[in-house]
Structure 1
Amino acid sequence: MISLRFFLSLVFSICCTDVVYALNLSSPSLHEVLLPVPNTLADKILGARLSVSGATAAVSALTDNTRASGSVYIYDAEESWRLTTELNSPLSTDNFGQAIVLENNTLIVSADRDGEDAGAVYVFERNSLSSPEPWQQTAKISPPDGIAGDRFGGAIALAGDTLYIGAPLHTQGKLYIFKRNPESRQWLYIDSVIPDDPQALK
């Protein structure tokens, strides 16, 4: 098993193909691994977003068109870095992959242009490696008061069973807090935060 203290993504063009490198800084000598490039990459830019947990890395690929849906690729380093899963949105114009966060067996992917830019966030959970689908979508989260143009999912953060989702264009911006029920695995809206003094942000 490869023990990673740090995962660095470098994205640049070589023969019209984007490249992502994994650097293992825990080994005596710096070890560089070229991650396999997905065949389905097409015009997407691999490495636009990156999140790592343990020996698993989630890497998103976006296009220059911010309305187009991106993809999220999962790499596993148990033996060597290999591409195990490709995740896509059922929609084509939601900017899927705008933000991603991976923590243990939970992957959060935002699509901040879903529903006329109201935004949405997808939750995926890991199945066993022997499963035909190693990652399964278990939820799609929308804001309780979202409207077109809010861009819910512009930023996301996960801490255990608590999920923080930013909607930067909701008036002067808004932070939503959701909590996962450990038994039902459902995500429940808990609270939201808005600026105390919206005028101070102008």
Structure 2
Amino acid sequence: GDLASGWTEIQRLLGTGSANQYFGDRTAVQGDTIAISQNRQNAVRVYSRTTPGDLTSTFQQVVYLQATDSVSGDSFGAGMSISGDTMVVGASGHDSVIGSTQQSDSGAAYVFRRNTPGDPTSTWTEVVKLTASDGVASGRFGKLVSLDGDTVAIAATKDDSGSLAGAVYVFTRNSPGELTSNWTQV
């Protein structure tokens, strides 16, 4: 359409649940798919257009995502990004095991794949959990996520052993384009 003509509200999406759930704290959009975090519930709600490709079409919820190992305080949905049929969701408050030690608030990120590639109304499945190879307590890995094709950059905004210097970790898909593939930190 004509970008100079302005924008029109199509729909107001509302979270469900009790107060202070922070619905909409983070969002990710690609094509006919919108992912909206509700990180006090450690959840992401994924919506799709009722008529794919129709910019005047409203959105309906497709799936309510949670990590398979989610616990209260994980901040699942702190950062997220969608690229094609892959979505990566950060959980910056997750207590990950780094080496052999559980690190409080070290963070994690979860890779999800669309079950029916190319279908915005499809549900999503968790593929793999990513953690920083040298993550630290309170590092907050997963606070910000940016995904493009087979590469994802994941921020640990408070990394570096408490000095708050921050770090960004880059991962690539082991088998490019393969939705069920594992990922490796580069």
Q: TM-score range by the shorter chain?
A: 0.7 to 0.9
Task: Tell me which amino acid in the other structure corresponds to 1:165.
Answer: I
Q: Do 2:32 and 2:120's aligned partners in 1 also have CA atoms closer than 8 Å?
A: no
Match of 2:101 in 1: none
Task: Tell me which amino acid in the other structure corresponds to 1:77.
Answer: R
TM-score after normalising by structure 2: 0.75
Moved over 6 A (4+): none
- Tell me how far apart the structure 1 counterparts of residues 154 and 9 of structure 2 sit (CA, whole Å): 34
Match of 2:33 in 1: 56
Q: Do 1:99 and 1:156's aligned partners in 2 also have CA atoms closer than 8 Å?
A: yes
Task: Tell me which amino acid in the other structure corresponds to 1:106.
Answer: T
Match of 1:73 in 2: 45
- Tell me how far apart the structure 2 counterparts of residues 78 and 130 of structure 1 sit (CA, whole Å): 9
The 1:83/1:174 distance shift into structure 2, 3 A limit, reads same
Match of 1:94 in 2: 74
Could you tell me the percent identity over the aligned residues?
31
- Of structures 1 and 2, the larger Rg is shown by 1
* Number of matched pairs: 161
In structure 2, the residue corresponding to 1:57 is in which secondary structure? strand
Query: Are residue 178 (structure 1) and residue 171 (structure 2) matched?
Result: yes
Cα deviation, residue 30, structure 1: 4.7
Cα deviation, residue 130, structure 1: 10
- Tell me how far apart the structure 2 counterparts of residues 161 and 139 of structure 1 sit (CA, whole Å): 14
Cα deviation, residue 33, structure 1: 2.3
The 1:130/1:188 distance shift into structure 2, 3 A limit, reads closer
Cα deviation, residue 109, structure 1: 0.7
Cα deviation, residue 142, structure 1: 0.6
- Tell me how far apart the structure 1 counterparts of residues 30 and 120 of structure 2 sit (CA, whole Å): 20
- Tell me how far apart the structure 2 counterparts of residues 110 and 71 of structure 1 sit (CA, whole Å): 11
Match of 1:8 in 2: none
Q: Do 1:51 and 1:100's aligned partners in 2 also have CA atoms closer than 8 Å?
A: yes
Query: Are residue 46 (structure 1) and residue 23 (structure 2) matched?
Result: yes
- Tell me how far apart the structure 2 counterparts of residues 130 and 160 of structure 1 sit (CA, whole Å): 17
Give me the CA root mean square deviation.
Answer: 2.6
- Tell me how far apart the structure 2 counterparts of residues 130 and 33 of structure 1 sit (CA, whole Å): 18
Task: Tell me which amino acid in the other structure corresponds to 2:23.
Answer: L
Q: Do 1:36 and 1:83's aligned partners in 2 also have CA atoms closer than 8 Å?
A: no
- Unaligned residue ranges in structure 1 (runs of 5+): 6-24, 64-68, 191-202
Cα deviation, residue 96, structure 1: 0.8
Q: Do 1:96 and 1:109's aligned partners in 2 also have CA atoms closer than 8 Å?
A: yes
The 1:40/1:124 distance shift into structure 2, 3 A limit, reads farther
Correspondence 1:139-178 to 2 at 5 A: 139-171=128-160, 172-178=165-171
Higher RCO, 1 vs 2 (CA within 8 Å, ≥6 residues apart) = 2
Which one of 83, 90, 100 corresponds to residue 103 of structure 1? 83
Which one of 127, 131, 136 corresponds to residue 115 of structure 2? 127
The 1:50/1:98 distance shift into structure 2, 3 A limit, reads same
- Tell me how far apart the structure 2 counterparts of residues 134 and 62 of structure 1 sit (CA, whole Å): 19
- Between 156-165 and 32-41, the greater mean CA deviation after superposition: 32-41
